[in-house]
């Protein structure tokens, strides 16, 4: 399924994507390492194998566009422009994390780059997206809001209610379904009626497009065209990106529900390798490509060291930012 379309593509653009994908990969590997070292004690959901979606979607968003994500949100957040130092500190629960270590991996967020948060509740970000897009419309801004969620999320009510909402109010929302075939240990095809996300969105009046989520070039093109339609005021769109989760569901998932051979086979369509191949065939110097990998690893190793060395948040943080009225610093009981 490797895209052969190298004509008309902007090599610099692809290189940017390639570098970003490596940064995501290296970030996830560092996060897994942190879990192994018991520096992260909660759940980590790595996005290894799905980096083309994060890159292809987020590099097409403006920095003032908004984004919401799921439990598997590191890649999206990084791609939207968040600082990996802050992110890794957040994962390790340290001061200097985006949320002072109060949210952690499942709630990774960086509002300064328009990333309104990962979410621990499958599907919950869909409504938040609809609402953010609603606000944007009320405020007559030309920003758009993107929501990324998994193929498991399309069986929850918000998929219907939130997408319907976006149609009814003709909102500037881009919905992206990362269809990796699984919801935790369950094959989504076994729990999903009909033809899946695209068909459901169409029935709700949302035009949708299905692309190979491991082919950065296809995603990049699809997202670009879809976003320009959304920004032009044509209402919401859905993009379904077919992919495969190369790692376990969480860092501690023994992953016994998939055949090893299936996973190994899937590695052959690793989106980073795919894009690397395209670039190589386009005669990009291999050193540049290799540097993306090594630079990313160097960067994320430093990020990891920084986070390890960072201090815990001061205990007073526990009582901050709950609410103004009825603030627990005045009355916690």
Partner 1 sequence: MTTMTYADAAKQALTEEMRRDPTIWALGEDLGRGGVFGQYQGMAEEFGPERIADTPISEAAILGAAVGAAMSGTRPVVEMRFADFALCAIDELVNQAAKARYMFGGQTKVPLVVREPMGMWRSSAAQHSQSLESWYTHIPGLVVVCPSTPHDNFGLLKSSIRCDDPVVYMEHKNLWALEGAVPDCDPIPLGVARIARTGQDLTIVSWSSTCHEAMLAAVTLEEEGLEAEVIDLRTLWPWDKRAVLDSVEKTGRLLIAHEAVQVGGFGAEVAATVADRAFSSLRAPIKRIGAPRVPIPYAPPLEDLLRVTPERIAAVARELTR
Ligand X SMILES: Cc1ncc(C[n+]2csc(CCOP(=O)(O)OP(=O)(O)O)c2C)c(N)n1
Q: Taking the CA of residue 209 as centre, how many other CA atoms within 13 Å lie in the half-sphere pointing to its CB?
A: 20
Report the nearest approach of a copy of itself to the CB of residue 117 (Å): 21
Give SS3 for 192: coil
Identify what 200 binds: partner 1, a copy of itself, ligand X, none; CB under 5 to 8 Å per kind.
a copy of itself
- The maximal CA–CA distance of the chain, rounded, in angstroms, is 66
Based on CB atoms, which residue is closest to partner 1, 41 or 309? 41
Contact between 96 and ligand X per CB under 6 A: no
Q: Of the listed pieces 13-21, 102-110, 161-169, 245-253, which binds a copy of itself according to CB under 8 A?
A: 161-169
To which H or E segment does residue 175 belong?
Answer: strand 173-179
Contact between 167 and a copy of itself per CB under 8 A: yes
Give the total of residues touching partner 1 (CB under 8 A): 83
Q: Which of 9, 11, 81, 155 binds a copy of itself (CB under 8 A)?
A: 155
Helix ranges (H only) for 169-259 are 197-203, 216-231
CA nearest 146: which of 107, 105, 115, 108? 115
Please tell me the distance from the alpha carbon of residue 199 to that of residue 205, in angstroms, as a whole number: 10
Please tell me the distance from the alpha carbon of residue 332 to that of residue 310, in angstroms, as a whole number: 28
Which of positions 297-316 make contact with partner 1 (CB under 8 A)?
312-313, 315
Name the residue with tokens 């390790």. Answer: 92
Which of positions 77-136 make contact with partner 1 (CB under 8 A)?
93-94, 97-104, 106-107, 109-112, 116-117, 119-124, 126-136
Contact between 191 and partner 1 per CB under 8 A: yes
Identify what 116 binds: a copy of itself, ligand X, partner 1, none; CB under 5 to 8 Å per kind.
partner 1
CA nearest 180: which of 125, 258, 115, 118? 258
Based on CB atoms, which residue is closest to ligand X, 182 or 304? 182
User: C-alpha distances in angstroms, 93 versus 37, 48, 138, 213, 299?
Assistant: 14, 22, 36, 31, 20
Laid out side by side, the sheet with 237-242 consists of: 66-68, 145-150, 173-179, 237-242, 208-212
Contact between 105 and ligand X per CB under 6 A: no
Q: Which of 11, 15, 43, 301 binds partner 1 (CB under 8 A)?
A: 43
Please tell me the distance from the alpha carbon of residue 62 to that of residue 146, in angstroms, as a whole number: 11
Contact between 150 and Mg ion per CB under 5 A: yes
Contact between 153 and ligand X per CB under 6 A: yes
Based on CB atoms, which residue is closest to a copy of itself, 41 or 121? 121
Query: Backbone dihedral region of 47: left (phi > 0), alpha (psi from -120 to 50 degrees) or beta?
Result: alpha
Contact between 270 and Mg ion per CB under 5 A: no
Identify what 203 binds: a copy of itself, partner 1, ligand X, none; CB under 5 to 8 Å per kind.
a copy of itself
Which of positions 168-187 make contact with ligand X (CB under 6 A)?
178, 180, 182-184
To which H or E segment does residue 89 belong?
Answer: helix 84-91
By residue count, the chain amounts to: 333
Identify what 17 binds: ligand X, partner 1, a copy of itself, none; CB under 5 to 8 Å per kind.
none
Please tell me the distance from the alpha carbon of residue 321 to that of residue 75, in angstroms, as a whole number: 26
Please tell me the distance from the alpha carbon of residue 116 to that of residue 180, in angstroms, as a whole number: 23
Report the nearest approach of partner 1 to the CB of residue 311 (Å): 10
Contact footprint for ligand X (CB under 6 A): 70-72, 120-122, 150-153, 178, 180, 182-184, 188, 245, 249
Contact footprint for a copy of itself (CB under 8 A): 155-161, 163-164, 166-168, 190-195, 199-200, 202-206
């Amino acid at each position: 399924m490797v895209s052969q379309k190298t004509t008309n593509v902007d090599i610099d653009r692809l290189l940017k994507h390639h570098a970003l994908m490596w940064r995501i990969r290296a970030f996830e590997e560092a996060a897994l390492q942190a879990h192994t070292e018991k520096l992260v004690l909660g759940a980590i959901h790595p996005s290894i194998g799905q980096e083309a979606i994060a890159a292809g979607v987020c590099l097409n968003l403006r920095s003032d566009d908004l984004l919401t994500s799921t439990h598997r949100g590191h890649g999206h957040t990084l791609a939207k422009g968040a600082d990996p130092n802050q992110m890794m500190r957040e994962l390790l629960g340290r001061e200097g994390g985006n949320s002072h270590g109060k949210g952690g991996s499942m709630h990774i967020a960086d509002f300064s780059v328009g990333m309104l948060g990962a979410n621990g509740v499958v599907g919950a970000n869909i409504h938040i997206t609809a609402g953010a897009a609603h606000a944007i419309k009320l405020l007559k801004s030309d920003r758009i809001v993107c929501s990324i969620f998994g193929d498991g999320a399309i069986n929850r009510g918000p998929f219907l209610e939130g997408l319907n909402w976006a149609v009814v109010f003709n909102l500037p929302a881009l919905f992206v379904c990362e269809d990796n075939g699984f919801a935790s240990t369950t094959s989504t095809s076994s729990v999903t009626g009909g033809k899946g996300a695209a068909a459901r969105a169409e029935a709700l009046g949302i035009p949708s497009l299905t692309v190979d989520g491991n082919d950065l070039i296809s995603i990049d093109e699809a997202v670009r065209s879809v976003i320009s339609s959304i920004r032009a005021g044509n209402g919401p769109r859905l993009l379904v990106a077919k992919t495969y989760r190369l790692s376990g569901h969480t860092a501690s998932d023994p992953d016994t529900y998939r055949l090893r051979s299936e996973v190994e086979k899937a590695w052959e369509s690793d989106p980073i390798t795919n894009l690397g191949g395209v670039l190589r065939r386009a005669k990009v110097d291999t050193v540049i490509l290799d540097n993306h990998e090594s630079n990313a690893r160097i960067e994320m190793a430093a990020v990891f060291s920084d986070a390890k060395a960072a201090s815990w948040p001061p205990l007073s943080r526990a009582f901050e930012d709950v609410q103004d009225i009825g603030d627990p610093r005045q009355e916690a009981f």
